[in-house]
Amino acid sequence: VNTISFLFFVRYRALIFPLLIRAGKPTPFFTFVLALLFCVFNGYLQGRSLTTYATYPPDWLGDSRFITGFLGWLIGMAINIHSDHILRNLRKPGETGYKIPRGGMFEYVSGANFFGEILEWFGFALACCTIESFAFALCSLFILSSRARQHHKWYLEKFEDYPKDRKIVIPFLY
């Protein structure tokens, strides 16, 4: 099940999500290469860990760590997909300019999509209970929190009416 949840996310992020994006700014080639290398390395690390080294007792799927982790992963993915939907639909076709995202977790944080992804990977880490999955969750937290902080700062500078009580990426905390 852990491997299936990991593969489901990778398929969404690598195949479905890019097809849903409307035309926007091109991604710099260097950024693309770094992201590709990171994803290939991480995919190998997670896959190898789960298929070769991780061992679970027969009743693992009923263990509270697995159930809590799987629910965290599932809720995080739902938040991530919903937040991506909100961002993709900020502008109507032909419309230009920037808008403040509203609805869903954007009512609480500037980086709702990032929050969803962080929650996904910490849920995945708890469900897997491997050092590799925990390391990836931490990497996701640090990288995505940094991006969310940049977005939050940009929103505050760009929009005078940006909600001042929104946190950066972790609801009610940061």
User: Which of 22, 152, 147, 137 has the alpha carbon at shortest distance from 91?
Assistant: 22
Question: Is the per-residue pLDDT at 33 higher than 60?
Answer: yes
In a domain, 147, yes or no: yes
Question: Is the per-residue pLDDT at 50 higher than 60?
Answer: yes
**Residues 117, 135: contact at Cβ < 8 Å?**
no
Longest dimension (CA), the chain: 56
What is residue 97's predicted lDDT score, i.e. its pLDDT? Answer: 86
Q: What is the mean pLDDT of the chain?
A: 88
In a domain, 95, yes or no: yes
- Which helix (H) or strand (E) segment holds residue 159: the answer is none
In a domain, 167, yes or no: no
| Residue with the larger pLDDT of the pair 123 and 92 | 123
Q: How many domains would you assign to the chain?
A: 1
Please give the share of the chain, as a percent, with pLDDT higher than 90.
Answer: 67
In a domain, 171, yes or no: no
Q: How many angstroms separate the CA atoms of 169 and 9, rounded?
A: 20
Amino acid type, 37: L
Q: What is the pLDDT of residues 72-93, one digit of tens each?
A: 999 999 999 999 999 989 988 8
Please give the share of the chain, as a percent, with pLDDT higher than 70.
Answer: 86
In a domain, 123, yes or no: yes
Model confidence band, residue 39 (pLDDT cutoffs 50, 70, 90): confident
Give the residue numbers spanning the domain of 96. 4-158
In a domain, 33, yes or no: yes
In a domain, 173, yes or no: no
Distance of CA 69 to the CA centre of its chain: 15
In a domain, 174, yes or no: no
In this structure, how many other beta carbons lie within 10 angstroms of the beta carbon of residue 30? 8
| Residue with the larger pLDDT of the pair 24 and 137 | 137
**Residues 76, 120: contact at Cβ < 8 Å?**
yes
Q: How many angstroms separate the CA atoms of 162 and 158, rounded?
A: 8
Tokens standing for 99? 């808008």
Amino acid type, 126: L
Question: Is the per-residue pLDDT at 23 higher than 60?
Answer: no
Q: How many angstroms separate the CA atoms of 169 and 147, rounded?
A: 9
